[in-house]
Amino acid sequence: MEVKNKIILALDVLSMDQARELLDEISDYLDTIKIGYPLVLAEGLEAVTQVKEEYQCKIITDFKVADIPATNQKIADVTFQAGADALIVHGFVGPDSVGSCVESAEKYGKEVFLLTEMSHPGASQFLQPVSMDIARMGVEMGIQNYVGPSTRLDRLEKIRSIIGKDSFLISPGVGTQGGDPKDTLKFADALIIGRSIYLAPDPVESLESIIDSIEF
């Protein structure tokens, strides 16, 4: 997946009005947007369709899918039918549950991102001990896209070493959570950034500053 300016916007706002107000300002800088539960629970799955159609962008749905295979497949099917280009899936549920999402993605010509480890402090208690095993499972399954934390670069580097240089790795936790954009891109292909942009007094200025900081 190609990502303009190596930045994926985490659009964690609570209304389409807020989403449009923000995207009208910054959409020229971005072509990939991550939509998760906040906007979808507030506005319905139609938010995915509307953002994709109105702003002609790629949509990664961040539902961190983590259920039994049959339920996962239903979630994936309706998500891809709404226009999502990719779906983030938890890996700890095992290859059968992950595989059901992969099957759905293949059916619709879409993609799955396997979540190895999250970026918040609490992830170190339960996810961290198994995150490398999750990455290895993804490689064994032939998965090409992964999510790993910018807040723990040593962990991100290990994930990259497991999945290989040709896999696509995106990384949350940049900015508000403490991750450094340029350092993260030593191992990740793209950054996931939300609050540092949409809560900024001037989102355009904030985004331009981040883009300037990561130019190599």
Nearest to 159 by CA among 123, 115, 126: 115
Share above pLDDT 70 across residues of the chain, in percent, rounded to a whole number:
100
The question of whether 52 is a catalytic residue gets the answer: no
3-state helix, strand, coil in the chain (%, to 5): 50, 20, 30
- Dist. CA 170–CA 207, nearest whole Å: 17
Considering the four listed CATH numbers 3.40.50.740, 1.10.1200.10, 2.60.40.10, 3.20.20.70, the one that applies to the domain covering 4-214 is: 3.20.20.70
> What pLDDT digit, counting tens, does each position of 105-159 carry?
999 999 999 999 988 888 888 888 999 999 999 999 999 999 999 999 999 999 9
Q: Which listed residue (34, 64, 74, 186) is catalytic?
A: 64
Q: Please identify which residue in the block is written with the tokens 């995915």.
A: 48
> What pLDDT digit, counting tens, does each position of 46-91 carry?
999 999 999 999 999 999 999 999 999 999 999 999 999 999 999 9
What phi, psi does 174 have (nearest 5°)? -75, 135
Q: What is the pLDDT of residue 114?
A: 98
Global pTM reads: 0.96
- Dist. CA 48–CA 130, nearest whole Å: 31
Share above pLDDT 90 across residues of the chain, in percent, rounded to a whole number:
91
